[in-house]
Structure 1
Amino acid sequence: MSIFRTALMVGAICAGLGAATLGATAAPSKTIPDASKGTPLTSAELYRLYNNRSWLWKDGAGFFSVKQRKFTAWSGKGNSGSYGVGVWFITKPGKLCFRAKWHAKDGTVPALTCFSHRKAGKVVFQKREPDGKWYVFRNAPAKSGDEYAKLRRGNYVSSRLSKIEARLSATR
């Protein structure tokens, strides 16, 4: 895989974050408030949502460590496995970003991924920046299918990341 294809892969991974529930929760409903009328989450609210939690994805996970705001992640399987190491940060009320260098078989590619968050009533919405669509991140009350349910306290990343890192190091 070339560096260009690796960059495309990282872009696809980052584009897919949070998109798993779009079809299930993005449809308008009379009981779900309008995200455009919501207010951005405060920096403190975002910090509480993500600190020391792992976001479990379809084929990977990302960990938001409190220590030095370190972000680590892995994605893929076998020869297509990759891992990212960087930082996470809150840029303004409602916006969380992570910047990481993604390592794959054919090289390293930097990536910046950001998500905006709003709440309308007690419902929290999320969208990938810059041009994603708003979808329900956490219902009120929370539902098992919410994207928020994929945030788990603790580090679900480091053991898998280490395995991918070792496999990539052995092939270089």
Structure 2
Amino acid sequence: MTVFRTLLLLCVLGVTSTCAFAANTAPNKASKPPAKSVPLTAEDVFQLYYNRTWIWKDGAGYFAAKGRDFKAWSGEGTGSYGVGRWFVTDPGKLCFRATWYAKTGNALAVTCFSHRKRGNTIFQKREPNGDWYAFKTSPASADDEYSKVRPGDYATAGYNRMRIKLSQKK
């Protein structure tokens, strides 16, 4: 697979921030961290995600404690699924390294999110060029992104459906 085709596939899958490169445009400047915030420790980030599923608009990703396995799926239409490992690093970063599969092929991608805390609020941003936003507040707010991170595995069933769907010949 050519570099351009791989980048294009990753853009379609929405699993990387290389789309600006593929489109030959400059990436956005990263936003500054929230004032007076501090990075979460690796243990704090681990506690946020282990054995939980992050439910997305059109898919989900599961962060298993056993082996740090990561499974995800996205998109009912053309669709894709990913499998790999997740890991945390100081200062406050969650990453998952997965091979993503779609009808057009597959590609490896590493996706990372940074986390910082100020008071009772945890902020998050997608690396490298995302914007900081309130991810988890205390008391919890109905529109917290963290409300979509649920204990248990809600991704493997969709992952298996997508894997079967993409393996079928048309």
Q: TM-score, normalised by structure 1?
A: 0.82
Distance 2:46 2:124 in 1: 15
Q: Does 1:74 align with 2:38?
A: no
Distance 1:14 1:75 in 2: 13
Distance 1:148 1:129, change over 3 A: same
Do the aligned residues in 1 keep the contact of 2:52 with 2:149 (CA within 8 Å)? yes
Runs of 5+ in structure 2 lacking a partner? 18-32
Query: Residue 160 of structure 1 corresponds to which residue in structure 2?
Result: 158
Which is helix-richer, 1 or 2?
A: 1
Distance 1:171 1:95 in 2: 39
Distance 2:80 2:37 in 1: 36
Distance 2:97 2:167 in 1: 22
What RMSD over aligned residues (CA atoms) do the two structures have, in Å? 1.7
Deviation sequence 1:88-141 (CA, Å, 0-9, x none): 001223111001000000110111110000000111100111121110001121
Following superposition, which runs of at least 4 residues in structure 1 exceed 6 angstroms of deviation?
none
Distance 2:58 2:66 in 1: 25
Deviation sequence 1:59-78 (CA, Å, 0-9, x none): 11000000100011000013
Distance 1:89 1:3 in 2: 23
Q: One-letter code of the match for 2:124?
A: Q
Displacement after TM superposition at 1:166 (Å): 0.8
Displacement after TM superposition at 1:81 (Å): 0.9
Task: Describe how 1:117-136 pairs up with structure 2 within 5 A.
Answer: 117-136=115-134
Distance 1:14 1:54, change over 3 A: farther
May I ask how many residue pairs the two structures share in their alignment?
151
Distance 2:43 2:89 in 1: 12
Q: Does 1:52 align with 2:55?
A: no
Do the aligned residues in 2 keep the contact of 1:3 with 1:106 (CA within 8 Å)? no
Query: Residue 23 of structure 2 corresponds to which residue in structure 1?
Result: none
Displacement after TM superposition at 1:44 (Å): 1.1
Distance 1:111 1:81 in 2: 16
Q: TM-score, normalised by structure 2?
A: 0.83
